[in-house]
Structure 1
Amino acid sequence: MKKLVFLIVLFVIGCAEENPLEKEISAIPLDVNVVRFDQVFLGAKPSDLPKLKETYPLFFPASIPDSTWIYTMNDPLQKELKTEINTVFSDFAPVQRDIKSVLQHLEYYFPEYDTPKVFTVTTEDYRKKVILYQDMILIALNTYLGKNHKFYDGIQKYISQSFEKEMIPVDIANEFAYTQVKPPRERTFLSKMIYHGKVQYLKSLLVPKASLAMQFGYTDEKIAWAEANEKQIWTYFIEKELLYSTDNKLDNRFLNVAPFSKFNLELDSESPGGIGRFIGYQIVKSYMENNDVSLQNLLGKSSKEIFTNSKYKPKK
């Protein structure tokens, strides 16, 4: 009897903790059909090329001769690539659920955005993991084989650490967010931080189940460092009079993807790259917590208005 009571208590607690908004979003009816073009192409023979070009004209631009595609099909590396992708994505159902989830969030926050078609592909450029093109999302599965995969030898660890299949919805959200957030008119460091902060805040809404580390492309250790040193980082920016600086060198030091941020201090190697994005996110998050503003209104607000009304106070 005691065991039954205990189970009931757990059930009640679980229901109480369930986010009503997320429950509503997960119930949005959405038919997501993922076309596994990677499997189609990697399993094709040169004799299949005419049919492939007819069925998938987008992937076969006229500027590329058939000889290039035939050479690729005959390349032994393609067979190895197919094997590795099939091993990592032997069960594609969880990935498809993750993709559906981020698209349901897009439907909720941007109902005017038509549900895109989703294609899985391969790419030779690891920087193009996800591409939004017209009404399509292209996902390069060969960039999600696991951070320690042999294919990524030679790629710096701060980049390959995000080559995990769990990052697919985060990368979709990232690409979409940058299409919705307009670059700032001002060239100040603060404006750029808040610009990236808007992107990160939007990502947090589109993939709420992803950890903060995943949303920033950090390791758990790096996000812990950022949270523990938030006040010191903010103090540094103020004391060095960086907030209203228009020095473009600050982009590489504190905003761009990098192995670490560059304070020119001994602790640099401990910090995550692009720490300014983290601070920008905290400012935007504080603004939304302290003002009754919709997401769409936020996206149109100036960095000056956001900063002035954010009441941002970094954690100690």
Structure 2
Amino acid sequence: MKQIYLFFIVGLLLSACGGKKDIDVSNIPIDVKIARFDHDFDQLRTKPMEPQAIALLQKYGDFYRDYTQQILEAGSVQDTNYFKTLREVFKGRPYNDLKHDVDSVYPGQLQKQEAELTDAFRRIKYYYPKKNTPKVYAYFSGFKAQTSVGDGYFGIGLDLFLGANSRFYPALTEVFPRYISRRFTPEHLSARVVEGIAREDMFVESDDNKTLLSKMVYNGKILYFMDQVLPNVPDSLKIGFTSQQIKWCDDFKSTIWGYMLEQNLLYETDLQKIQTYINEAPFTPQFGGLQGNPSAPKLGVWTGWQIVKQYMEKHPDVTLQQLMVNNDAQQILNDSKYRPK
């Protein structure tokens, strides 16, 4: 009995030290359905075009206008000359090959992703009750846009979630190098939707973020927001790392931080220097391969994430909403007491 009681107490202590308790969002009335715009759009090929276009405009509104004008670049829907462009698109082999592969990977409803996004959108609603839930549309963009945000909608370009071994991606390496296209998988879809909503809609980065530190903390807050909204999604999918890159960052976190301090990088405002630690890349040149292991990219983003997580761990009274509106990167760093070992 003493051992059982001891285990019970230890369990309570570990629970208390483990962070904030998961929230119950099961009763929040949101049920995400991803509308297959790509299927509806294809009916322009098989049905009389003009009445079908009117039906699409009525169903999808601004998204249909944006898709026709910005993705297809077929002109305004107010000008019926765009039908000529549509006919050219439909009879071409690229469209039909792409449709074949998209339908092979996503033959019907995206049920797994709908379930993930339903939970994520409920959590967003929990933290931000006044936030309107966007309609979600699936399309294919001719490899132009993985995601898109518009007035009341969020679009998902399924042609950029076909799987890392899609036959199309090797021909696109100038636009999407292998270290990027390896993430074009169905498993990454929900994380990219939530990240897109966070970055492009809810928490757009301020133009005042000039220093590396301010950009690190901003990116760290985005990833922390994703932690709360996607609690069951692996860190590697959130930040777009491989599991080996996650381990590399954890193994060398003190080396990374020490280098940033020694080189006075935190307050650097030279965009070219900053991009090395923020932008996509196969690795970070300054670190090469420590102990034979290729370095991870985006070390500023990853480090900013650790700073924000440590700040929130040390300040359990700070709410997610308070964190996201706090633009004082220096204060967050100071109060995090970030000193990796």
TM-score range, shorter chain: 0.7 to 0.9
Deviations 1:234-265 (A, max 9, x none): 01101111112222122221101111123165
Summarize the alignment of residues 1-316 of structure 1 with structure 2, pairs less than 5 Å apart.
22=22, 24-45=24-45, 47-57=47-57, 58=62, 59=64, 60-61=68-69, 62-63=75-76, 65-90=82-107, 92-126=110-144, 128-154=145-171, 155=173, 156-178=177-199, 179-181=201-203, 182-183=205-206, 185-263=208-286, 265-267=288-290, 270-291=294-315, 292-301=317-326, 302-314=328-340, 316=341
Partners of 1:86 and 1:125 lie apart in 2 by 16
Distance 1:21 1:38, change over 3 A: farther
Aligned pair count?
A: 297
For residue 108 of structure 1, report the CA deviation from its aligned partner.
1.4
SS in structure 2 at match of 1:113: coil
For residue 46 of structure 1, report the CA deviation from its aligned partner.
6.1
For residue 115 of structure 1, report the CA deviation from its aligned partner.
1.5
Of the structure 1 ranges 24-33 and 212-221, higher mean CA displacement relative to structure 2 is found in 24-33
Letter in 1 for 2:338: Y
Letter in 2 for 1:274: K
SS in structure 2 at match of 1:119: strand
C-alpha contact (below 8 Å) 1:39/1:82 kept by paired residues: no
Distance 1:78 1:186, change over 3 A: closer
C-alpha contact (below 8 Å) 1:35/1:118 kept by paired residues: yes
C-alpha contact (below 8 Å) 1:42/1:79 kept by paired residues: no
SS in structure 2 at match of 1:244: coil
C-alpha contact (below 8 Å) 2:288/2:295 kept by paired residues: no
Partners of 1:214 and 1:162 lie apart in 2 by 8
SS in structure 1 at match of 2:275: helix
Partners of 2:243 and 2:152 lie apart in 1 by 34
Report percent identity of matched pairs: 28
C-alpha contact (below 8 Å) 2:284/2:299 kept by paired residues: yes
TM-score, structure 2 normalization: 0.80
Letter in 2 for 1:278: W
SS in structure 1 at match of 2:183: coil
Distance 1:26 1:228, change over 3 A: farther
For residue 266 of structure 1, report the CA deviation from its aligned partner.
5.0
Of the structure 1 ranges 271-280 and 75-84, higher mean CA displacement relative to structure 2 is found in 75-84
SS in structure 1 at match of 2:266: coil
For residue 300 of structure 1, report the CA deviation from its aligned partner.
1.9
Partners of 1:73 and 1:103 lie apart in 2 by 35
C-alpha contact (below 8 Å) 2:141/2:159 kept by paired residues: yes
C-alpha contact (below 8 Å) 1:184/1:303 kept by paired residues: no
Deviations 1:178-221 (A, max 9, x none): 13334262522111111111111111212111111111111111
TM-score, structure 1 normalization: 0.86
Partners of 2:186 and 2:179 lie apart in 1 by 16
SS in structure 1 at match of 2:25: helix
For residue 20 of structure 1, report the CA deviation from its aligned partner.
9.8
RMSD over aligned Cα, in angstroms? 2.3
Of the structure 1 ranges 288-297 and 77-86, higher mean CA displacement relative to structure 2 is found in 77-86
Partners of 1:146 and 1:230 lie apart in 2 by 31
The answer for the alignment partner of 2:3 in structure 1 is: none
For structure 2, the residue ranges without an aligned partner over 5 or more in a row are 1-14, 70-74
For structure 1, the residue ranges without an aligned partner over 5 or more in a row are 1-15
Partners of 1:263 and 1:129 lie apart in 2 by 30
